[in-house]
Structure 1
C-alpha cells in the first residue's frame, strides 16, 4: 500500500494544484452566492474525484491480460502513454498561451460567480471531466490497480488521494466559513496571483507530473 501511495502522492499534488478548480473556488467565494454555493461546489468536486477514480480503478482491474506479457506490463505501458499525453498537453497549453495577455481569465469563468447551489454542485462534478483531470485520474487508478491491494487498502488509498486532491478547494471553503473577513483578503490576492501565473504554473505542473508518471511506468516494465 505504501508503494501505491508513493506513486499517488505526486499525482494528487498535481490534481490539487490545478488552476481551474482553484480559480472557480475563488470566484464563488467572492460572489454574492458564496455561502449558499461554495459548500455544494466542494461536495460536487469531492464526489467527482472519488467516483471517477473509483470507476477507473474498477475498470483497470477488469482489463484482460494481453497475449504478450502480463497485466503489469499493460499497466506500465498505459502509464507511460498517459505521462507522454500530459507532456503533450503542456506543449499545447504553452503554444496556445503565446500572444495572449497575461492575467486574462477565461471568459466562461466570469459566469461562475452567478451559479446557485445546485448549479455549483454540478459544476464541481463536471470539472473532473476536463482532459487534464481525466489523465491524472487515469494515472492514479492505474497506480492503485497495479499495486496488488486488497479492497480495503484500495479504499483507503482512494480516500487519501481524494482528500489530497480536493484540499486546495476544501481549505478556502472551510476557511471562508470559519473566518470570512480574513479569507476574503487572501482570496483577492490569490486571484491576482493566479491571473499572473496561471499559465506558467499549469505548464510546469503538466511537464513535471508527466515525467513522473512516465518514470512510474518505466519502473513497472
Structure 2
C-alpha cells in the first residue's frame, strides 16, 4: 500500500495544482453570485473527480490477462501515460512563454453563470485532456494495490481529497469568512495569472517522470 500511495499522491498533487479549476473557483468566489454558484461548482468538481478516478481504477482492475501479462500491460500503460504527461507539461511551458497576460474571457465569465451551469462546469472541467491523463495514471496506481473494496475506496478517497483540496479549501473558507478571504482571493488570482501555468507545467513534467519511472522499473 505504501508504494501505491507513493505513486498516487504525486499524481493527486498535480491535479490539485491545475490552474484551470483554481482560477474558475477564484472568479466565482470574487463574483456577486458566489452565494448561489460556489457550492454547486464545488459539488460538480468533487463529484466529477471522484467519478473519473473511480471509473479509471475499475477499468484498470478489470484489464484482462494473467498476473504476469497484466503486470507487463500496466507497466506499458504507465510508460505511455508518463510520456504523455511529460509531453503535456512541456507543451504547457512552451505555450506559457508565448501567451499574453490577459485572461481568457470565458474564464472571466464563469462568475456570472447560474447554479446549474456552475455545477455543469465543475463536472466538465474533469474532461480536460490533462485531467483525463491524471485520472488514468491514478487508476493504474490504484490497480497495483491489494485487491479489495476497502483498499480501492480508501485510495479513491485519498486521491479525490488531495486533487480537489485547492478548490475545496478556498470555497469553504470564503463561505465561512468572506471578508477575510476577499483580499487573499485577489492576491491568489493575480499570482496564479502570472505564475500558475508555469508551476503546473513543471509539476506535470515531474509527475510524468515519476509515472514513467514506475513503468520502466516494473
Q: TM-score normalised to the size of structure 1?
A: 0.94
2:88 matched residue in structure 1: 89
Alignment of 1:60 onto 2:53: no
Give the whole-Å Cα distance in 1 for the aligned partners of 2:173 and 2:36: 15
Do the aligned partners of 2:14 and 2:200 also contact (CA within 8 Å) in 1? no
- Aligned partner of residue 147 in structure 2, secondary structure: coil
2:187 matched residue in structure 1: 189
1:28 matched residue in structure 2: 28
Equivalent runs, 1:1-221 vs 2, <5 Å: 1-65=1-65, 69-101=68-100, 103-220=101-218
How much does 1:178 deviate? 1.1
For residues 37-58 of structure 1, give each alpha carbon's deviation from its aligned partner in whole angstroms, at most 9, with x where no partner exists.
1111111001001111111111
- Aligned partner of residue 98 in structure 1, secondary structure: helix
Give the whole-Å Cα distance in 2 for the aligned partners of 1:40 and 1:108: 18
Give the whole-Å Cα distance in 1 for the aligned partners of 2:177 and 2:107: 25
Give the whole-Å Cα distance in 1 for the aligned partners of 2:76 and 2:105: 37
Give the whole-Å Cα distance in 2 for the aligned partners of 1:180 and 1:38: 12
Give the whole-Å Cα distance in 1 for the aligned partners of 2:149 and 2:180: 42
How much does 1:206 deviate? 1.5
Give the whole-Å Cα distance in 2 for the aligned partners of 1:74 and 1:136: 18
User: Following TM superposition, where does structure 1 have runs of at least 4 consecutive aligned residues deviating by more than 4 angstroms?
Assistant: none
Q: Which stretch has the larger CA shift, 46-55 or 198-207?
A: 198-207
Give the whole-Å Cα distance in 2 for the aligned partners of 1:148 and 1:76: 17
Q: TM-score normalised to the size of structure 2?
A: 0.95
How much does 1:202 deviate? 2.0
- Aligned partner of residue 148 in structure 1, secondary structure: coil
How much does 1:216 deviate? 1.8
Give the whole-Å Cα distance in 1 for the aligned partners of 2:45 and 2:99: 29
Give the whole-Å Cα distance in 2 for the aligned partners of 1:45 and 1:29: 15
5+ unaligned residues in a row in structure 2: which ranges? none
